[in-house]
Structures are given as structure tokens and as C-alpha cells.
Amino acid sequence: MTTNDPAQSPLPDSVDGMVTQTPTDPADTPIGPTTLAELKELAGRYPQARSALLPMLHLVQSVQGRVTTEGIETCARILDLTEAEVSAVATFYTMYKRRPMGTHHVGVCTNTLCAVMGGDEIFERLCGHLDVGNDETTADGAITLERVECNAACDFAPVVMVNWEFFDQQTPESAIDLVERLRAGERVASPRGAQITSWREAERVLAGFEDGRVDEGPAAGEASLAGLRIAQERGWQAPSLEEDSGTGRGGETKQEAAAEADTQRAESETVAEQSPADVEGGADDD
Amino acid sequence: MTDTLTPVLTANWADDRAWTLAAYENQGGYQALRQALQMTPDELVTLVKDSGLRGRGGAGFPTGMKWSFIPKDNPNPTYLVVNADESEPGTCKDIPLMMASPHTLVEGVIIASRAIEARQAFIYVRGEVLHVVRRLRAAVREAYEAGHVGTDIHGSGMDLDIVVHAGAGAYICGEETALLDSLEGRRGQPRLRPPFPAVAGLYASPTVINNVESIASVPAIVRGGVSWFGSMGTEKSKGHTIYSLSGHVKRPGQYEAPLGITLRELLDLSGGMREGAELKFWTPGGSSTPILTAEHLDVPLDYEGVSAAGSMLGTKALQIFDQTTSVVRCVLRWTEFYKHESCGKCTPCREGTWWMVQILRRLDRGEGQPGDIETLLDLCDNILGRSFCALGDGATSPITSAIRYFREEFEAGMTTPSSELFPPSRSTLFATTVLAGEGATS
């Protein structure tokens, strides 16, 4: 989120950040009847239509290459919201872009772990190679480069994302090679995902429309399997699920299960009493 | 005595096309659902309560107890929301789980929905993981087609709809009430509690929000039972869980073990530190959990053990840093993250993280001023427990713990840049040698 940041809120920036004040570029693909119907379809997927706003903004980006004034107005009209209400949402989330995006989004993780493992160096080298800074697009319109926060692939660090697909264990050289192949329009596939299409097509999938690429790529990368491989080599496994089959309750005997159940309940209550009320709220992350 | 590693959630990740319904059912998938459909909601809540399963997303709150808070007399519909917004720095377990075996989560969602009598469930997944979103959507579609989801599921009379919802980039949405606001189509800012989500959550209706790994653990508990689950783990931290090792280790990755394994054991399994490296500091459960050092290698990694060591088990995200790493640089970067992700709703977090970044930047440059360390600690004191949600609290953890263990490095920041003391090129994955700085590539 770039809002509410005292360091970055001199007047020009905040004006730039107001989506409603960005004039719609005449070159923008207009929101046609198909997109309109799809936006309404998304709104119909939820018990309350407003819940579809995030997916709808993803769809706007997939059609127009960013969140445009027209996109804001259209979402507002469908959801019976004000444009200010939609703008407030569009400016809160980092994945929504107010400036036209390149064909591909390249995100370099520079959160601590990846940064230390080489992400900082990768980002600097890419900036130099592409002659852009953070959140800028190359002159040929091929690549928008961005520093991204932790993308939940720390065991594959340092990580680079292309249109939100993983490229693991990168080096400055492999990252430069990657962006060169993207710029040249070569076929590039994520080692843990699908063939790279474009940022706009990725946004369409995020909005809620399948693209038929689900079966591409493996189930898991090697790091994800590290523990499993060791367990397989050494014959380690969890206790069998089937030993106590039938009851779904386990327990060698019914009495034993009941005794354990009572103890556990007492313990759980103790835990609850000791916890501050808001511990319930999944403190850190999820 | 159980084995050192106990793959349950990770057991099928190497299977051919593990993400498909066919592969999942081949290894016993959706058997737990059939068992659960024979059980009443109350029996399911009791089962999970008695199993001792505690939330795997950071807070460790007993999952079954959370379910039992749903009022029975509320006229509004009940909702289940899965928190799949995995964004805590260092945390990388839910994403591979959903990538490899999304049906484990979907089966858990159906069973949990039966337990709390929800007819609508949402999986709120962060937007920055395209292929995971694909796999989740396909899994839900396949589950509908197989009659595991939809109306009158397998003749049980149970109805359930599941929506996969992609977020749009905001760490704060991992905080459960911010997640609800986001899912309602608003800015993701946390809500005041009470009322708690169990009473007034999504659409002001009773709502349970659980982490991916918590929900994914439910099918095996239904099949294995209370004593099976309790045969793994420790007295108050029962069961199996996924530990995520990253950083300067030979074999980073996911290791599923009974709760209570130690970092020493995990390091042994992962081949130890990288060549020539010594453990300097580590996070037990993501960046919001206070860092620990080599003196904590034998701390049991369960809720009680890590808490007794002055930190938190958190998400079991073990980020390992060796002696080439500058603590000041790491703490600065984490603090920049919290500043970037602060939602701006409350003053201590919004302003405090900004000021902490200013001070840490000059310490990192070697331009620290006398009193900076005290000011940092004072700022932390004014944020911890005084901000609206746990993000602010988490932002103080790396700072206070790093000053506790490595105060001299912050003092060195009065005179010497961190990059001089700890050349960053020596810390990278592609550094050729660790100890001989001259030999490192840049």
C-alpha cells in the first residue's frame, strides 16, 4: 500500500494517486458489452455484490491495462457505489496500477530474506539493464519492473515473479536472461507454473476466469518436497490413519478416547483464558 | 514415539498430477468427507476441539473452540472464510500446499462448513500467486462436478457453495477482520473487536476464519481421530505441522514434523548451514516473531516452547541467517515492510513505523546519532499494545529482539555502514565463498 505514507505524500504524488483525476487515455480499450457482462457476472457470484469489487478491478486491469477512470465509473455504476468509494479501494491495494503497465510485470522480491539471498543485487542489476526504476516501464513497453514484498516462496530465494508466476533461485544473470527472453517474445514457462502469457491475461485469471493452464507445471518444486524426500528415503511416516478406522474418533478404546477428550477440553479452556481477547484474530498473518 | 518427520499434509505432494481430483481420491481423498457426512455438526466440533488442533496461521488459537463460538440462535447465515492470504515474511507453507494439493483444503472446507453449518464458504487467497489461484479454482470446480460441493451433497441434505476470491496485494488482509472488510469489497482495514467475527463477521453475520493449514488438517483428523492426532506433537501442541526452512541452510524447504521438533534437528535434516556458515540469528515464525540465536537451537518448536524462549511459534517460518548477515540491514528491511503495509488506520503504527524507518536508515548508513537506540526502543514501547491490530505489535518484534541480542551492531551504526561491516555480496545464494570475503562474487 502506498497510501497513508507520510514519506511519500507530497502534493503531486497524492494528486497522481487519485484515480478519478487521471484522464482516460483515448488509446484505452473501451469497456465493451462483453466486459460489462463479465463484470456483472462477477457481481452475481457473491451474496452481496460489493464483494466482487476486487475481482472486478482485476478484470478492468485485464482489459484496460490499468485501473482507468472509465473502469472506476463502470464498477461504481454496477455496484451502486460512488466513484469515490471505488477509488478508495483501488488506491489501497498494490496490485492495482494507475499508470499503463508493460506487457509483462516483473517483480523482484526485496523483502528481507530474498534481499539478503541476492534479491537486492538482482533488482539493482535489472534496473541498470532495463534502464528503469521501481514501478517503471521500459521504453519499448515490454516490462514493468517492481520491487515486491514477500511472495511466500522463501525456500526458493531469491525469487522473481513474472506476471505473478514463480521464478525460483534467481541470480542477476538468470534474471537478465529472463527479461531478455520476455522482451524478445520467446516462449517462457515458470518452473513451478504455466507458460507466461501477459500481465493482462494473468489479471483475467485473478478476476475469476479460468484460462485452461491449470495442468501445466509440476505439483511442487524441489524445495517444497525437501522434507518428504528425506522421510521417503528413511522410511519415516506419520502413524497410519487406518489403524482406528471406522469410528472417525480414534482412541484405542472408547474410554481412553473419552478421557483424552476431557483432558483436552480442559486444556483448551485454559489456553483460552490465558489468551488476550484479540489473540483470536490470527495475530500476525493468517 | 513417532518418526522424526511425519508427512500428512505434504504426503502426496510428489504424486503425479497431485492437484487433480483423481490423484487426490486415489490416495484416500474425500473419504473423510464421507465419514463427516455421517456425523452431526456438534460431533465434528467436538472432534476437532478434542484433537487439540490449534490455529496454524500464527496465533495458535484452538480451532475447534473457534468453531464452537458460532451462536446457534443467530438468524443470519453462517460463513466460513479461509485465510489463504499468506504474506508474513518468511512464511511459505500454505502456497505450496494449495499448489500441490488444493483438494486437501477443499475437503477441509466442506467438513468445516458442515461443523459450523455454513452454506457458503470463501477461500481468500492473495492475488500474487497466479498458479495457485488456477489450481484452487479448478479444484473447486472438480469438487462441484463430483458432487462434493453444491446442493444435497451425497444425499446428506447439506448444501455448500465455495468461492475462490483473489486479493489484490495487502499484507494487512491477513489480519482476519481486515480480510473480512476486503472480502466485502472495501479497503482492508481491521475492525474493532468486539463484536468478534463469530458473532458479527462477514456481512455482520456469524463467521469463522481459519488458516489454510488449520482447515487442511481437518480431513486427516476426521479419519485418524483424536488419539491419532495426539500421538504426534507435545502435550499442549498436538499434531503434525509444516516447518518452512529458508535462508543460509543447505537444503531449504518444507519439513512436516510433529510439533516440538527443534531447530537443531531440522538443521541436521536439511544438511546444516551452508558451507562455512554459522548460525547467527533466526525467526521461529515469520518476521513478526522476535528473533532468536544459536543459544535457542534446542528450544522445542511448539507454542509453549518458543513462548518460553521469549518469542512466538507464529507460522513456523524459520528464516535462517548466518554470520555474513547484518542484523541492522535485516531489521531495517523488515521495518520498511511494516511501514509499507501499515494500513494507516491507527496513529501508533502509521507514524511509528515511519519514524522507526528513518532512524534505522541512518544506523544502516553508519550515520546513527547518540540516543537512536533508546529512541527506537521508546517508539516500540509506544506501538506495542497501543496499535489497533497485531501488525503494529509485529513491527516492534524484530527491533526489540535484535537490540536485545545484537546491541553492539546498532552501536556500530553510529560510525560504520552495515555494508562495510557485512558486505551484502557475501550473504547471497550465488556467493562463491562465505568466509573468504575476497572470493565472493558480486
Domain boundary among A60, A90, A120: A90
A152 vs B87, B209, B226: nearest CB = B87
B431 within some domain: no
List the Cα angle B240/A221/A177 in 5-degree steps: 150
* B58 and B203 fall within a common domain: yes
- At residue A265 the predicted structure's pLDDT band, cuts being 50, 70 and 90, is very low
pLDDT higher than 90, residue B37: yes
Q: Per the domain annotation, does B15 fall within a domain?
A: no
Question: Would residue B42 count as lying in a domain?
Answer: yes
Q: Is residue B50 part of a domain?
A: yes
B317/B336 same-domain check: no
pLDDT number for residue B432: 77
Alpha-helical segments (H) within A152-198:
172-183
Confidence at residue A261, expressed as pLDDT on a 0 to 100 scale: 41
A271 has pLDDT over 70: no
Q: Flag whether pLDDT at A144 surpasses 70.
A: yes
Nearest residue in B to A168, CA atom:
B429
Identify whether residues B261 and B214 lie together within a single domain: no
* Residue after which a domain boundary falls, among A149, A178, A196: A196
End-to-end CA gap in chain B: 47
One domain, residues B65 and B42: yes
**B129-154 pLDDT, tens digit each:** 999 999 999 999 999 999 999 999 99
Convert the pLDDT of each residue in B311-330 to its tens digit.
999 999 999 999 999 999 99
- Domain at A139, CATH number: 3.40.30.10
Q: What is the pLDDT of residue B1?
A: 76
Please tell me whether residues B184 and B265 are part of one structural domain. no
> How many other CB atoms are found less than 10 A from the CB of residue B80?
30
A-chain residues within 8 Å CB-CB of B265? Answer: none
B241-255 pLDDT, tens per residue? 999 999 999 999 999
Closest residue, chain A, to B189 (C-alpha): A92
**B222 and B284 assigned to the same domain:** no
- Residue written as grid cell 462448513: B113
Confirm whether A253 is domain-assigned. no
Residue of B77, B178, B231, B74 whose CA lies nearest to B391 = B178
Banded pLDDT at A275 (limits 50, 70, 90): very low
pLDDT at A17: 39
Label residue B435 by pLDDT band (50, 70, 90): low
Does A255 map to a domain? no
- Residues A139-162, mean pLDDT to the nearest whole number: 98
Q: How many domains are contained in chain A?
A: 2
Residue A231 clears pLDDT 90, i.e. is over it:
yes
Give the burial class of A237: count Cβ atoms within 10 A of its Cβ; 0-12 exposed, 13-18 middle, 19 or more buried.
middle
pLDDT value, residue A243: 56
Q: Judge whether A246 lies within some domain.
A: no
Instruction: Enumerate the residues of chain A whose CB falls inside 8 A of the CB of residue B13.
Output: 219-220, 224-225, 228
- Is a pLDDT exceeding 60 seen at residue B66? yes
Domain shared by A112 and A71, yes or no: no
Residue to mutate among B142, B389, B428, with most A CBs inside 10 A, is B428
Let me know whether A67 and A140 are in one domain: no
DSSP per-residue codes, A11-23: HHHHHHH-GGGSP
Q: Residue B290: inside a domain, yes or no?
A: yes
CB contact under 8 A, B229 and A51: no
Checking if the pLDDT of A258 tops 60, the result is: no
pLDDT in tens, A41-73: 999 999 999 999 999 999 999 999 999 999 999
Residue-wise pLDDT for B156-173, tens only, equals 999 999 999 999 999 999
| ipTM here | 0.96
Let me know if residue A227 belongs to a domain.
no
* Residue B80 DSSP label: E
pLDDT band at B433 (very low <50, low <70, confident <90, very high): low
Decide if A233 is inside a domain.
no
Looking at residue A9, what is its pLDDT? 37
Residue B169 shares a structural domain with residue B304:
no
In a domain, A116, yes or no: yes
Residue A286 sits at the vertex; the CA angle it makes with B96 and A135, to the nearest 5 degrees, is 75
Are A109 and A55 in the same domain? Answer: no
Q: Is residue B438 part of a domain?
A: no
pLDDT at residue A286 above 50?
no
pLDDT over 90 (residue A254): no
**Which tens digit of pLDDT belongs to each residue from A69-107?**
999 999 999 999 999 999 999 999 999 999 999 999 999
User: Is A251 part of a structural domain of the chain?
Assistant: no
Residue type, B278: E
Q: How many structural domains is chain B composed of?
A: 3
- A115 lies in the same domain as A157: yes
Q: Are strands B279-283 and B292-293 parallel, antiparallel or unpaired?
A: antiparallel
Query: pLDDT-based confidence at A25, cuts 50/70/90?
Result: low
**For strand B279-283 and strand B253-258, is the pairing parallel, antiparallel, or unpaired?**
unpaired
pTM of the model: 0.91
The partner residues of B242 in beta bridges, in order of sequence, read: B256
A171–B429 C-beta distance less than 8 A: yes
CB contact under 8 A, B141 and A210: yes
CATH number at residue B136: 3.40.50.11540
Looking at the fold, whether B299 and B359 belong to one and the same domain comes out as no
Confidence at residue A267, expressed as pLDDT on a 0 to 100 scale: 39
Q: Please, which pLDDT band fits residue B9 given cuts at 50, 70 and 90?
A: very high
Residue A27 is predicted with a pLDDT of 59
Q: What are phi and psi of B360, to 5 degrees?
A: -65, -30
What percent of chain A is modeled with pLDDT above 70? 75
DSSP H stretches of helix in B274-346 = 303-308, 327-341
CA distance A177 to chain B (A): 16
State the virtual CA torsion across A258, A264, A269, A271 in degrees, nearest 10: 180
Cell 558451507 belongs to residue:
B275
Last residue of a domain, one of A196, A212, A247: A196
* Closest-approach residue (CA) in chain A for B177: A281
Whether residues A58 and A108 fall in one domain: no
Last residue of a domain, one of B322, B338, B360: B322
Query: Residue A170 and residue A176: Cα distance in Å, rounded?
Result: 10
| pLDDT score at A29 | 80
The dihedral over CA atoms of A133, A134, A137, A140, expressed in degrees to the nearest 10, equals 40
Q: Is the pLDDT assigned to residue B439 strictly greater than 50?
A: no
**B289/A1 CB distance under 8 A:** no
Q: What is the mean pLDDT of residues A176-203?
A: 98
CATH number of the domain encompassing residue B302: 3.10.20.600
A120 to chain B: which residues are within 8 Å by CB? 424
Strand A104-109, strand A143-148: pairing? parallel
Same domain, yes or no: B181 and B215: yes
Q: How distant is the Cα of A178 from the closest Cα of chain B, in angstroms?
A: 17
pLDDT for the residue B434? 62
Examine the pLDDT at B405 and tell me if it is beyond 90: yes
> Is A10 a domain residue?
yes
Q: Are residues A22 and A63 in the same domain?
A: yes
Cross-chain residue pair B131–A217, CB shorter than 8 Å:
yes
User: Per-residue pLDDT for A270 more than 80?
Assistant: no
Mean pLDDT estimate for chain B: 96
Angle, alpha carbons B364-B369-B375 (nearest 5°):
90
**What domain range includes position A113?**
104-196
Contact B254 A224 (CB under 8 A): yes
In this structure, the strands spanning B240-247 and B253-258 are: antiparallel
Give yes or no: residues A115 and A176 share one domain.
yes
pLDDT over threshold 50, residue B120: yes
Does B47 share its domain with B131?
A: yes
Neighboring chain B residues of A153 at a CB cutoff of 8 Å: 92, 95
Q: Who has greater pLDDT, A253 or A244?
A: A244
Averaged pLDDT, B412-438 = 86
Among B196, B230, B264, give the residue marking a domain's end.
Answer: B230
Domain residue limits at B245:
240-322
The shortest C-alpha distance from A91 to chain B (Å) reads 9
Give a yes or no: residue B428 inside a domain. no
* Whole-number Å distance between alpha carbons of B392 and B386: 8
**Statement to judge: residues B306 and B334 lie in one domain:** no
Residue B441 within a domain: no
**B349 and B368 inside one domain:** yes
Domain's final residue, options B230, B251, B285: B230
Least confident of A132-141, A263-272, B36-45: A263-272
- Same domain for A172 and A113: yes
| pLDDT on residue A38 | 98
Query: Looking at residues A8-26, what average pLDDT do you find?
Result: 42
Give the number of beta-carbon pairs within 8 Å between A and B.
460
C-alpha closest to that of A56 among A209, A167, A178: A209
Give the model's pLDDT for residue B78: 98
Please state the rounded mean pLDDT for residues B90-112: 98
- Range B338-364 average pLDDT: 97
